[in-house]
Structures are given as structure tokens and as C-alpha cells.
Structure 1
Amino acid sequence: MKRTAAIVSLSALLITAGCSDSKSDGGKADPNDEKQASAEVVKAFAAGWVKAWAPEGKPTEAAALTDSPTTFGKRLDDVDSALVAQSAKVTPQGEPDCADDSNCTQNLEVETVLRGIGTMKWTSTAAVVKTDGGWKIKASGDTIYPGLGEANYLKRVRTLPARASIQDRTGKPLTSNRPVVIVGVASGNTATAATYSAFTKFLEVDGTKLWNRAKSSPAGQFVDAITLRAEEWDKLRPKFANLPGVLTMGGTQSLPESSSFARSVIGTMKTATAETLKNAGPTASSQDQVGTTGLQYSFQQQLAGTPGGTVTLRDGKTKMAIKEVFKQEGKAGAPVRTTLDTSLQRAAEAALATSKLPASLVAVQASTGQILAAANGPTATNYNRAFQGHYAPGSTFKVVTSAALMGIGETANTPLTCSNTINVFGKSFKNYDGLAPYGAGTMQKAFNESCNTAFISQHGRLPADGMTKAAALFGFGRDLNLSIPAYGGQVPAPKDAVAEAASMIGQGTVTASPLQVAMIGATVKHGTALKPVLVPAKDQAGPAASPLPPATTNALRTMMRTTVTGGTAHILAANGAVSAKTGTAEVVSNGKVITNGWMVGFRGDVAFAAIVEGGESGGKAAGPILKNFLGRFQ
């Protein structure tokens, strides 16, 4: 049952113990020698017991010191299994109490960690008898636990407290414990090819991998495959009704209102694996449903609380409880309060559902940096692109570029020419396909129309680290230290003029997540870049950089507003006092150059960003999604 332990040689000990009856007074054994011999055997027995209940240990060493090794070894192993002991500490107490020179007893203080529950302590008594073969421990169940005798046994029951909820910003539960069905197969060869095919077809479970797991699992085991909401299984049950080997097990799991709602932020739960069990803490069990992603993973121990349990001594014949010998009360988990706004999260997901391409949307409170919504669509995914995606931000980054140029003295009225192309040391840059060059203009017009060549024409005026420093004022380049993984963007100092030119239009080595791009909009609205916050009790709030110069802030606000009223973000013109900037970023996917469509902006205290992978442009791809989103709340 357990890891093979080295079986130490006991010959020397037993010979010493057996020869300890030296005659020193009228042919009688010296009682001090008898006590010492008895104590040595008890000490060795205690050490063997500890090894027996160690992970993958065996009872061989302890059993060899008894007068019935085979019987006692099984008994010690059975109690170990019944308690699900993780480890044991066995300590002889005081000196042996010897009735005569052949019979001694000595108490043992036992402390064992019950896996997934806690520590149980008791005192048992080892009876030691002198035989022809030396001193031996009596092979009695009472040596293990008082009252076990020859037939009684110990029974353990572990109880889990209800998992605490993940809450929105008002304290409303985003998750609750809902009925689920764990669907799997019987181990061995009970299930057929048709069974595994159904798992692949209807449950999107890899049937081949499931079959391999079933083949390698011990006989009689339930091999879990997937956990479904009870209502989902009710719809699928008829498709599995006549297939051999299908097994189900009911239970509850902490789930949001739907399988897609805030999935990549809230996270998912599954039966523990080696990795997630380690994260779940010392009282978790391999059979537990634990957090595997998102907040469910990050706050697993807080949400799960502490399990409780009991151990009862039971009659070997009637199976009835004789008495309760151990009890530990469980401790309920504590909820995790987030900054998410339930209504805005629903609005974000509904808006993304209209997209045919992969898309993400993030909304933040500009005045605090608190994240109000974070969604990925059009289908649910465990990968949180909204927080972790590494994307070229494209022309949304012209907000940062404009700030950089204003930092060297330019203004919204600085003349900038929009040409069809511009050459930088042999590299030709062009505008997005929908923009015809209009010639003379200003920075504000270049911003409104998103003219690449106009901004790149100023690259020679910026210092080498100009874009990097400007980006830092918007919070770029720092570890976000959020409760769940998130990417804060990167704007490396350009290695040459071409790289600098590319960075001015959000290309080249510039990367950002949708969350970080949303923080661009928040910075313009608030005037200072703030640290994003998802869980106020854990995530650090406050400024992420020095404030933008007031003149720069005011100019950027005006430029973003006029981009909606008369520029590339005009699709949002009917959605109130919205300010925005579009972006189209060229990326290479599967060897082909495609474009991602971006838009960043704010309305009131809500700043936002959206990206559509493979979108034609920001206005045509991200624009309709944000129009839908903004139309769902005031």
C-alpha cells in the first residue's frame, strides 16, 4: 500500500534483548536489565510504526518486533488506511512497568496527521513479553489504539464546509454552490469504444486519453472525466443511457450564474491534481474539487475553509459506533470581494457575443483603477486574454505618442503632414487601408484620422527613450501584481530609428494586454495612471506613475472626444459623451499578416478597451462591440 521502506536488521537488537537476563543475585535476572531490554524493543517498535505510516511505508519493521508479525502487520496497515494517515509520531513514555522479569508494559504517545483533516492524538499501551526468541510486543489491536482488541475498528468521516462565494463590488455573490454531476467511466475494460466516442463527441473529452486512464486505474475505481452542471447533464443523459461503463457521481460546486459568466476571471474548479493539490494547502484531499484557474485558484484556501472530521471506534460485529474518539470542527471559508460590477460584466459578455471573431473587452473605473468588467468571447475560455494577452496596441498607442510629443513642446495644433507613405532608413511605413493621405494638418487631425505617417514624421525629434518614458506615465512596463495573472505591457527603448518609428504607432516591440490599454483611457480621464485593482483586500491601489502635465491631459481629452465626434471613432457618437481612439495593428498569424481591431476610450468614470483578433479595423471591428456595450448602461 505504501512506499517500500528499508527493512532494517533486527537481529542484533533481538539477540541483545534475548540475552539481557544476566544473573547477578542468586541466579535471578537483574530487573534493571529486563526493563532496559523491554524499553529498547518498545523504542524500536515505535520507530517501525512511524515508518509504517509514512507515505508509501510498510508495516514490516514494526510487525517483526511482535509475537505475530503477519497478523499485526495487516492490522497496523488497516488502521493506517482507515485513518488515511499522512504521518505519525510515536513516542514511548517514561520507563517500562514490569510485573516480573518476563512481562512489561509501556505507554506510547501517538500523534498522527489525518490527511485532509488535522492531527489526532492518543495514548496506547505496548505489552512486552519475554519469549524464547527474546522480547516481543504483543500483537494486540490495543497496542495501536485502546479498545480495538481483536475485532473492533476505527472509522473516519471527513466533512467539507460550504465553499465561500466570490462577490462583486457590492457584496453580491458571483458564485454559489450549485448541483453538479461528475461523469466518468469504470476502470478496466468495462466501457467500450462507443462509450469513449460519446465522451469525445458530446462532452469534448479526449476519449483516447480517458480510455488510457481507465486501463491503468485499479479495478473497481471511478475514473472521472468531466464535471457538469446538473441541468446540463440532464440534457445529455439520454445519449449515454445505453453505453456500458458510464458512471456518475453527484455533488456541489462553486459556480457562477452560467458556465461562461466571468469565466476567465472567476476561474474553474476540478478534481485536484498534483499541482492544484499543492496550491490547495495541507488540509486538501486528492478527491476534493479545487480551484484550477482564476480567482478560484488564487484564493483556494480562503474560499475552501478548513475541513472537519470525526473518528469513531466501532464494534467489529455489529458495525455500530461504540464511541467517538476524535472530532475536529471545520471552519467555513471567507468570501472574496472583487471590484467587478455584475451589470457591466453581463453587458460586456453580451456585447462580445455579437462578434464572430475572438475578442476581449475590459472596463475600469478611471478614478480608482478598479476593474469593473473583463470578458473574453464570443465563446467562453479559461485563458484570460483580456488580462494576459500580449498584443501590439496599434494606433490606440497614439495617445501615448501624442503625450511624448507634447513632452518635447508640441501641441495639438502642431502642423503634421499626412502622406501616403514615409521612409525611415529604408523601411517604408504606410497608413491603414481606409485612410487616404490628406496632406497638411495638425496633430489633432492626425490623431482623429489615425494617420501613421504624420506621427512617424516626428520620430527624429524624440530622444531615444522618449516613448519608453511616455509609456511609463500610462503605467506601462511594470508588474501589475494582480490577484490573478495580468500583463502590464512593454515598451522597450528602441534599438534604432526604425524601431522608434514602429513604436510610435504601437507596432514593433510594443505590446500590451487589453487591460493595460484600458488603463490608457483611464489615465487620460483621471490625469494620473493608477494601479489596476481586482481584489481590494489584496491588490495594491494608488498611483502607478507621476501625473500627466495638466496641459497634456486636457489636450488628450479633447483629441479623444473629437475622434468620436468627427474622426475614426464616430460609431460611438450616439452613445453619449464618449471619448475614444481607434487602433489597427498588423500581426503575423500562421505566416500571414492580419490586422487586429482596437478601440480605447472612456465615458464618465468608465474607461474601456476592446480588441478583435483579425478585425478589419478598430472602427469596424471593435467599434460595434463597444457601441453595444455602452448602449447597455448609462
Structure 2
Amino acid sequence: MLVTAGCTDSKSEGGKPDPNNEKQASAEVVKNFAAAWVKAWAPDGKPDEAAALSDTPATFGKRLDEVDTALVAQSVTVTPKDEPNCSDDNTCTQDLDVEAVLRGIGTMKWTSTATAVKTGDAWKIKASGDTIYPGLGEANYLKRVRALPARASILDRNGKALTANRPVVIVGVAAGTKATAATYAAFTKNLQVDGAKLKARAVAAPAGQFVDAITIRAEEWETLRPTMGKLPGVLTMGGTQSLAESPTFARSVIGTMKTATAETLKNAGPTASAADQVGTTGLQYAFQQQLAGTPGGTVTLRDGKTKLSIKTVFSQQGKAGAPVKTSLDPALQRAAEAALATSKLNASLVAVQASTGQVLAAANGPTPTNYNRAFQGRYAPGSTFKIVTSAALMGTGQNKSTPLPCTNTINVLGKTFKNYDGLAAYGNGTMEQALNQSCNTAFISQHGRLPKDGMTKAAALFGFGQDVKLAIPAYGGEVPAPKDDVAEAASMIGQGTVTASPLQMAMVAGAVQHGTALKPVLVPGKDPAGAAASPLPAATTAALRTMMRTTVTGGTAKVLAGNGAVAAKTGTAEVVSNGKVITNGWMVGYRGDVAFAVIVEGGASGAKAAGPILKNFLSKFS
């Protein structure tokens, strides 16, 4: 009996498909082609392997790559479906289920048909556009269009928009050598763009490409256009971007947007594109996906000759982004920024609602910065920390009338502590007077009355030592248990290992006003709210309120007198910067339900450096 090889399903020796069994052989080449297609459309993938499995590799690889480029496919899965259908010993067809993730849109699904043909002793995939997508044939092509929804706004505490989609201009240069030395010098001078790096990018870019350098507001470009617009190689593109009312307004909180980088693209999620403007810092970064929404898109099959659409083969409806409501008060934010603009030194101001912990304003000045020192700065709080020290001593049975001696110096285990230069020793006095005059030696004289963890426990009552879980990065401060008496003495005056952010010190002032330390909140409903610690003892709260008020009426914070019923505490903290000891000036306090903190880096003292800024701030609201 004669049995032909083509009529059996048996495998050839070694388990390999029998090349003379059309179903086995065609199924194998289709399976291999599907795997090669996946590799070809992977990031940085090449079509060579898939092309080599076709009957015309010289042209099919290019065709497969063109469709990948047209769709902007991020990845693809290709799955052979059912059994091959063989019309004769040399030709079989098999369907392929294809799912392509279109970068910046979504997943497009289709079924195409691969035709396997026997050429000589080998089976190959017949090179055809229909193998990639049905209807492509030899000349037709796919065209994708992506539609971005308008970016949602970041809102203030009353639900009014802090950001809006405003006109911008993307300024760049033409690829190659069209731009001159004068062009790159102008970018450096006028736009703070590194001209040398821009030139390197332009020279390396493919011919005809627009090399973007910076995105600026349209009104800013109008002032630069008469000079920069005429320079060789300068190119611009118009667009819109989600921006605040000015380049400085709440910049380090609201954040910035730029053309996506590898890092920000990953944060933006699978529906973002490398060409998108995405959040890079602040709330714009933290809530990028919520604010951006979901892009829509279509893919049409087009006639290769007429370029007209034959049919829409994929369509996805976009979804508008959702706004993010913050606790910011725009009037107080403007007041904070205006006050910081009067400083010649780096300074930060935070204002919070004492009764809720909600952030009302957070500003850094005098020049705009993306680094939010107000939330993330780690500073020695200096004498503002004596609020906590007073509470710690009251926990041992002392009160605001307890006698505390103020001497010029005090020695602790060989370490000499002194007062700030402007304070003369006044001898016997009370705890209230020590706080009013900010006498270091008076507080340090009581270090023996505290247990080793006394300052750490007292600080915890003001929210220190917690992981602040705001929507954007923030630091809550630390008061480590002192290793010896010297460290304990230093911590009592806010030095040594004690650190805090301006936000945390504003929360300390808020705890005195409210009676309980609260968790800071920037995005209500998102950030954890409520108490950060047990309530302060009622007697301690009452005493601290009185002591901080008399610090304004007759102490080191008298610069704020005449600005309503303000309670405050000054601070001067010694820090080492570039090998030199400098001082930072602090002032914290509250008026009504608004608690605040100001730090001035390199400020001579809290009263001289931070005081005028706070006086300016308080004068702008009642």
C-alpha cells in the first residue's frame, strides 16, 4: 500500500515538522513569523527576522516597518488561529489574531490572514500587505490621528481654576548647521537654555527635524521675537499648555510641564506620547494622568493612489481629564509671593489653616524655583523650636512663670552655649520671659529636668517624626533621641540633629492656635487629614498662646506689633554652608485661623530677616 507523506500528521525525525506535510510545515512557518512580527514591533525592534521568513524579504521588511511607524505601535501580540487551510500541497492559509498597543491611544485589534507557500524545499510567508492588515494590498496604507482632550485645571479651595490652557510657543532650531554661534548665544542669554547642548542636539538630529529647546508663554515670545525670530536657524511652533496666571504663581506647588522625557513619559502612563506636554514637577506631575484624561484616536485605511479614506478601521473616544481641587487660597498665595519678592535672600513662606491643617499658601522666593523648599527643605528650626521646648518643660510640672536664669553662657559637659549676639543676660526671669527674649541659656539650664526622650516625645505632640503623605513631596521634621546631654541641650534650642521644613513649623504654630497638631493637607480628599497627635494639655496650650502673644507685644517679634492679634516666635539657627557658619532667620506664628512660618536663608536673625517679610504678608489680608 502506497502512503504519501502529505497525507500523514506524523512528525519527522527529531520532532521537527515534516517539510512535506503541508499543514505541519505551514503552521510552523506561520508560528515563527508571528513571533518574529512581535519582535519587529517591539521598542527598537527590527523587521529582518520576519522579512527573512517571507518569499520577498527585500521588500516585505520595509512594508512591515512602515505599518509599525504609521500606527506608532508600542508593542504587538500575534497569535495564529485555528488550523491551517491548505488548498494544495504548496499553499496554506492561517488567520492571525493581532493586538497592537498604539502608543498614546490604546489597543487596536484585528484579524489578518497569512499565506504560506512552498518555494523549493522551504515554506515561506507570501509577502503581502494583507498579511499585516486586510485590505492593505500592495499600495494602500494606514493613517492614524490622535486627539488630545483639553487638560483639566488645578483648582483653588473654592473650586476656581488656578491653571488654564494658555497659548505657548515652542522655540527651537532646525537640525544641522543652520543655526549660528549668535543663535545659540541668544538662547543662552535670553532663555537660559544651554546653547552648547542645544547645538550638539541640532547637529546630531536628522535633516529636516525641528529640535525643540524650550516652551514659553506666547506673550513672552512676543517680546523676544523681534530679535530672536530673525536669527538663523530659529524655528517655532505654537500650542497650548496648562499654566497658572503667571510664571511665578505657586510654581513649586502647581508644578511645571514640558515635552515628555523617558521618566515623565513613564509617569504619564500608556496613553501618553513622547511628543506630549506632560507634568514634570508638583501637582502637574503627581496628577498627570487624572488631569490629562484619555486621548481619542482613529485609524483609517487609505487608498495608495488617491490618498482618500477607504474606511475607518479603528476608533476610540477620548475622555476628558478631571480637575484637582487644592486647599490653596489664591489671595494669600499672591500675598506670600509679594512678600518674598522683597527679600534679597532665598526665603520660603507657608501659611496653613490652623483649624484644618489645610495649606493656604506655599511660596519660595525671591526668584521662581521648581524645588519646593517650603515643603522639602530640611533646616535647623533654631529658637522657633523653643515652643516645643516650653511644652516639654511644662510636661515636667513647670509653667510660664517658672524661674529660668538667663546667663551669657552655659557649659554642658565641656560644650559652651551662648545667646544670640543681640541679647544681654538679664539674670533671673521666667519661662515666658525666656521665650519672649529667646534666651538660649535659660532653656538649656533646664536640660537635666527632662528625660532622655523628653524632647522627642514633646516634638511628637507637634507632629514631628511622621511620614508626611501629601500629594507632592514634603518633609515633616525629625527630633532624634539625643545621644548625650550636649545633644539634648542643642535640641532644646532647635540645633544639633533637630530638623524641620517651613511647612512643619507652620504646623507647630497651628497646633498652638488649635490645641492639637494636625496633618497637613494640600489636596482635600486625597491627603490624609485629621489629628497628627493627641491634644496638647489645655494648660500648656493656654500658656503657649500667652507666651507667643507677649513675644509680639514685648519681645523679639515686636516687628509684627500693629498687625492685629498676632502671636509669634522668632528664631536664628546656625548652619554650616561651604565650610562657613551662617545663620538662617525664622519666624513662626498665627493670627486668627492662619498659622505661618518664614525662613530666610542667610538671614541675620528672625526679627531682622523674616520679620519684615511676615509684616508685609500680614498687611495684605485681615
2:584 is aligned to 596
Matched, 1:72 2:60: yes
Separation in structure 1 between the aligned mates of residue 58 and residue 185 of structure 2, nearest angstrom: 47
| Contact 2:8/2:21 (8 A) holds in 1 | no
Separation in structure 1 between the aligned mates of residue 123 and residue 359 of structure 2, nearest angstrom: 71
Deviation of residue 367 (structure 1)?
A: 0.7
1:619 is aligned to 607
Deviation of residue 164 (structure 1)?
A: 0.8
1:139 is aligned to 127
Deviation of residue 471 (structure 1)?
A: 0.6
| Contact 1:20/1:34 (8 A) holds in 2 | no
Matched, 1:250 2:254: no
- List per-residue Cα deviations over 1:387-443 (Å, max 9, x = no partner): 011111111111001001100011100111111111222222111112121111111
Deviation of residue 22 (structure 1)?
A: 7.2
The SS at the match of 1:469 is helix
Deviation of residue 44 (structure 1)?
A: 2.0
1:576 is aligned to 564
1:322 is aligned to 310
Matched, 1:283 2:299: no
Separation in structure 2 between the aligned mates of residue 121 and residue 20 of structure 1, nearest angstrom: 37
1:261 is aligned to 249
2:15 is aligned to none
Deviation of residue 98 (structure 1)?
A: 2.5
Query: Normalising by the residue count of structure 1, what TM-score does the alignment of the two structures yield?
Result: 0.94
Matched, 1:470 2:455: no
The RMSD of aligned alpha carbons is 1.7
Structure 1 residues 514-529: aligned runs within 5 Å: 514-529=502-517
2:322 is aligned to 334
2:195 is aligned to 207
Name the aligned partner's letter for residue 613 of structure 1: E
Deviation of residue 31 (structure 1)?
A: 13
Name the aligned partner's letter for residue 335 of structure 2: A
Deviation of residue 241 (structure 1)?
A: 2.5
Deviation of residue 285 (structure 1)?
A: 1.3
Matched, 1:415 2:403: yes
1:437 to 425, 436, 450: 425
| Contact 1:31/1:101 (8 A) holds in 2 | no
Matched, 1:357 2:357: no
Separation in structure 1 between the aligned mates of residue 513 and residue 180 of structure 2, nearest angstrom: 61
The SS at the match of 1:96 is strand
Deviation of residue 32 (structure 1)?
A: 10
Name the aligned partner's letter for residue 255 of structure 1: L
Deviation of residue 462 (structure 1)?
A: 1.1
1:398 is aligned to 386
Query: Normalising by the residue count of structure 2, what TM-score does the alignment of the two structures yield?
Result: 0.96
1:271 to 250, 259, 262: 259
Separation in structure 1 between the aligned mates of residue 19 and residue 440 of structure 2, nearest angstrom: 100
| Contact 1:345/1:374 (8 A) holds in 2 | yes
1:186 is aligned to 174
Deviation of residue 95 (structure 1)?
A: 1.9
Deviation of residue 307 (structure 1)?
A: 1.3
- Which 10-residue stretch deviates more, 216-225 or 408-417? 216-225
Deviation of residue 23 (structure 1)?
A: 9.8
- List per-residue Cα deviations over 1:575-630 (Å, max 9, x = no partner): 11111111111112222222111111111111001111111211111111111111
Separation in structure 2 between the aligned mates of residue 20 and residue 544 of structure 1, nearest angstrom: 80
1:539 is aligned to 527
2:480 is aligned to 492
Name the aligned partner's letter for residue 540 of structure 2: T
Matched, 1:97 2:85: yes
Separation in structure 2 between the aligned mates of residue 88 and residue 397 of structure 1, nearest angstrom: 59
Classify 1:23/1:132 alpha carbon distance in 2 versus 1 (closer, same or farther; 3 Å).
farther
Separation in structure 2 between the aligned mates of residue 63 and residue 590 of structure 1, nearest angstrom: 62
Separation in structure 1 between the aligned mates of residue 575 and residue 92 of structure 2, nearest angstrom: 82
Separation in structure 2 between the aligned mates of residue 129 and residue 421 of structure 1, nearest angstrom: 97
Deviation of residue 96 (structure 1)?
A: 2.2
Separation in structure 2 between the aligned mates of residue 426 and residue 491 of structure 1, nearest angstrom: 23
Separation in structure 1 between the aligned mates of residue 296 and residue 7 of structure 2, nearest angstrom: 53
- Number of positions where the alignment pairs a residue of Structure 1 with one of Structure 2: 611
Name the aligned partner's letter for residue 427 of structure 1: K
Name the aligned partner's letter for residue 122 of structure 2: G
2:12 is aligned to none
Separation in structure 1 between the aligned mates of residue 8 and residue 585 of structure 2, nearest angstrom: 98
Unaligned runs of 5+ in 1: 1-18, 25-29
- List per-residue Cα deviations over 1:503-556 (Å, max 9, x = no partner): 111111111100000011000011111110111121100111111110000000
Name the aligned partner's letter for residue 401 of structure 2: N
2:138 is aligned to 150
Separation in structure 2 between the aligned mates of residue 46 and residue 255 of structure 1, nearest angstrom: 46
Separation in structure 1 between the aligned mates of residue 361 and residue 602 of structure 2, nearest angstrom: 23
Structure 1 residues 374-393: aligned runs within 5 Å: 374-393=362-381
- Which 10-residue stretch deviates more, 217-226 or 259-268? 217-226
| Contact 1:111/1:121 (8 A) holds in 2 | yes
| Contact 2:150/2:320 (8 A) holds in 1 | yes
- List per-residue Cα deviations over 1:8-60 (Å, max 9, x = no partner): xxxxxxxxxxx965799xxxxx9993233222222222222122112222222
Separation in structure 2 between the aligned mates of residue 131 and residue 452 of structure 1, nearest angstrom: 94
Deviation of residue 133 (structure 1)?
A: 4.1
- List per-residue Cα deviations over 1:276-312 (Å, max 9, x = no partner): 1111111111111111111111111111111111111
Separation in structure 2 between the aligned mates of residue 206 and residue 131 of structure 1, nearest angstrom: 58
Unaligned runs of 5+ in 2: 10-17
Matched, 1:295 2:283: yes
1:346 to 318, 331, 334: 334
**Runs of 4 or more consecutive aligned structure 1 residues displaced over 6 Å after TM superposition:** none
1:162 to 150, 153, 164: 150
Name the aligned partner's letter for residue 163 of structure 2: T
The SS at the match of 1:487 is coil
| Contact 1:97/1:106 (8 A) holds in 2 | yes
- List per-residue Cα deviations over 1:296-333 (Å, max 9, x = no partner): 11111111111111111111111111111101111111
Separation in structure 2 between the aligned mates of residue 111 and residue 250 of structure 1, nearest angstrom: 35
Matched, 1:607 2:595: yes
The SS at the match of 1:540 is coil
Identity %: 80
Name the aligned partner's letter for residue 332 of structure 2: L
1:4 is aligned to none
1:587 is aligned to 575
- Which 10-residue stretch deviates more, 470-479 or 126-135? 126-135
Name the aligned partner's letter for residue 495 of structure 1: K
| Contact 2:174/2:235 (8 A) holds in 1 | yes
1:307 to 295, 310, 333: 295
Deviation of residue 455 (structure 1)?
A: 0.9
Name the aligned partner's letter for residue 478 of structure 2: Q
Separation in structure 1 between the aligned mates of residue 579 and residue 37 of structure 2, nearest angstrom: 63
Name the aligned partner's letter for residue 489 of structure 1: G
2:229 to 241, 246, 250: 241
Separation in structure 2 between the aligned mates of residue 148 and residue 35 of structure 1, nearest angstrom: 26
2:416 is aligned to 428
- List per-residue Cα deviations over 1:80-122 (Å, max 9, x = no partner): 1111111111122222222333332222211111111111011
| Contact 1:364/1:518 (8 A) holds in 2 | yes
| Contact 1:175/1:254 (8 A) holds in 2 | yes
Name the aligned partner's letter for residue 42 of structure 1: V
2:438 is aligned to 450
Name the aligned partner's letter for residue 607 of structure 2: G
- Which 10-residue stretch deviates more, 40-49 or 618-627? 40-49
Name the aligned partner's letter for residue 597 of structure 1: G
Separation in structure 1 between the aligned mates of residue 260 and residue 339 of structure 2, nearest angstrom: 34
Deviation of residue 128 (structure 1)?
A: 2.7
